Structure 1
Amino acid sequence: MERTIRIVIADDHPVVRIGVRNMLADANGFDVAGEAGDGDEAITQTLELQPDILLLDLLMPRLPGLEAMRAIMSGSPTVKILLLTSTITTQQIIEALHIGARGIVLKDSLVQDLHTSIRTVVSGDYWIGGKRVANLVTALHELMQKAEVQPRKTYGLTPREMEVVGAIVEGCTNRDIARSFGLSEETVKRHLSNIFDKTGVSTRLELALFAIAHQLVAATQ
């Protein structure tokens, strides 16, 4: 038997919470472990209950959804967060995914998407644009093509480091990068260490997401 998926619902409108709870009760395999009416409560409930899924309203009183998500990801990085919203910009989607959201569900699509989106993110994939997404970097590239172009920042990265960042976004290994630029793998590792320090990330995936979210690479790369 499939294990029960434990869920916390965080939305400032009681009617929305009741509606979501009822939709989950109508299907097997879901357990609403807690509810929250504002951003602070969402943090408290999530950290105390350690659910599998947090359904988090983007526009919350006391603490907005994105700020609440930052705090939650710092204290409970294993919870998978699905943002609930009536409307959202492409740039907000990119920011949310960069912070750690696993997907976005429009409230107008809750009836048809709620169960599937939850099971999708529990399985390890993402839910973006009303569909399952397995490759987050590719999805972010597509989103960036739709976003308004902002001035690019370099975060103090050298031209060579920017090239290495671009290669990381493309999924290249250290060996691939070394061959492409005529460098030793040790030199590539030093470049990556410097890049991690300057951008504040610690893994290659985090770097790829940071690079796309902050437009260090072209959307069409």
Structure 2
Amino acid sequence: MNPTVGSVSALSTPATATAHTIRIVVADDHPVVRFGVKNMLLSEPGFAVVGEAEDGDVAITQTLELEPDILLLDLMMPRLPGLEAMRAIMARSPRVKILLLTSTISTQQVIEALQIGARGILLKDSVAGDLANALRAVVGGDYWIGGERVANLLKALAELTQRAAAATERKTYGLTPRELEVVRCIVEGCSNKDIAKQFGISEETVKRHLSNIFDKTGVSTRLELALFSIAHKLVEMD
């Protein structure tokens, strides 16, 4: 193990830390992420990073030894994934509030994480703007979901479950996001020229998209595609 990882004395803890300081362990396999989080918190009063972890196993050890107020835990950790590490921690130290840190996460994973005991999900591309607010929400007893403070977990879980069910019911037949956009345009009655202008592509590219869409859905005309799309809920219409 890197001698600086997991060593409280080796970390940059504000000299003004008091009994009211929120103690945080940052668990992420990328040193740049850990460094970035620590630097952001240096300018935020009331927070102190007291430990670091580079994999799931170390995250468990650091959390149980240091008993921080909050564990910032990467979802995709080596050796032991974030959700598994969280299960182990919650079983032995349920007082610790865990905020998952991730680049991407499915609705189903969000539901699972909250059911296990996570206090929220923080996307890495939103860390710069949301980190302090997310930490304060969690410290205050609320949750951080979808980039905002959530007080009613049951309501949030119900909404997430409905969203996950809708996503499961909706089959895309292997269509790419751009192809689904083209399908929506076809349903709205757009011509190839209209579609090309809307997306800033050539009409030839539109024709290639349509050819791929026809192959994947098994239809052969624009009318059949529109009817197929409506029947199979390929696109959500306003």
1:102 corresponds in structure 2 to: 119
Q: CA deviation at 1:2?
A: 8.4
Q: CA deviation at 1:144?
A: 1.1
1:50 paired to 2:67: yes
Separation (CA, whole Å) in 1 of partners of 2:109 and 2:165: 12
1:128 corresponds in structure 2 to: 145
% of aligned pairs identical? 72
Structure 1 residue aligned with 2:78, among 36, 54, 61?
A: 61
Structure 1-normalised TM-score?
A: 0.66
Q: 1:122 to 1:65 in 2, by over 3 A?
A: same
1:143 paired to 2:126: no
Separation (CA, whole Å) in 2 of partners of 1:20 and 1:111: 9
Structure 1 residue aligned with 2:106, among 89, 99, 116?
A: 89
Q: CA deviation at 1:3?
A: 1.3
Separation (CA, whole Å) in 2 of partners of 1:111 and 1:16: 11
Separation (CA, whole Å) in 2 of partners of 1:36 and 1:145: 35
**Match of 2:31, as an amino acid?**
P
**Match of 1:62, as an amino acid?**
R
Separation (CA, whole Å) in 2 of partners of 1:147 and 1:18: 34
Q: Deviations over 1:72-104 (max 9, x none)?
A: 001110000000000000000000000000000
2:91 corresponds in structure 1 to: 74
CA RMSD of aligned residues (A): 1.5
Structure 2: tracts of 5 or more residues without a match = 1-17, 170-238
Separation (CA, whole Å) in 1 of partners of 2:161 and 2:51: 35
1:25 corresponds in structure 2 to: 42
**Match of 1:144, as an amino acid?**
T
Separation (CA, whole Å) in 1 of partners of 2:82 and 2:19: 30
1:12 paired to 2:4: no
Structure 1: tracts of 5 or more residues without a match = 152-221
Separation (CA, whole Å) in 1 of partners of 2:83 and 2:165: 20
1:159 corresponds in structure 2 to: none
Runs of 4+ displaced beyond 6 Å? none
Greater Cα radius of gyration, structure 1 or 2: 2
Separation (CA, whole Å) in 2 of partners of 1:128 and 1:64: 20
Structure 1 residue aligned with 2:135, among 118, 123, 130?
A: 118
Separation (CA, whole Å) in 2 of partners of 1:141 and 1:53: 25
Q: Deviations over 1:100-134 (max 9, x none)?
A: 00000000000110001001011100000000100
Separation (CA, whole Å) in 2 of partners of 1:104 and 1:54: 12
Q: Answer yes or no: is the 8 Å Cα contact 1:105–1:130 preserved in 2.
A: yes
Separation (CA, whole Å) in 1 of partners of 2:93 and 2:69: 10
Q: CA deviation at 1:40?
A: 0.1
1:168 corresponds in structure 2 to: none
SS class of match (2:165): coil
SS class of match (2:100): strand
Q: Answer yes or no: is the 8 Å Cα contact 1:2–1:29 preserved in 2.
A: no
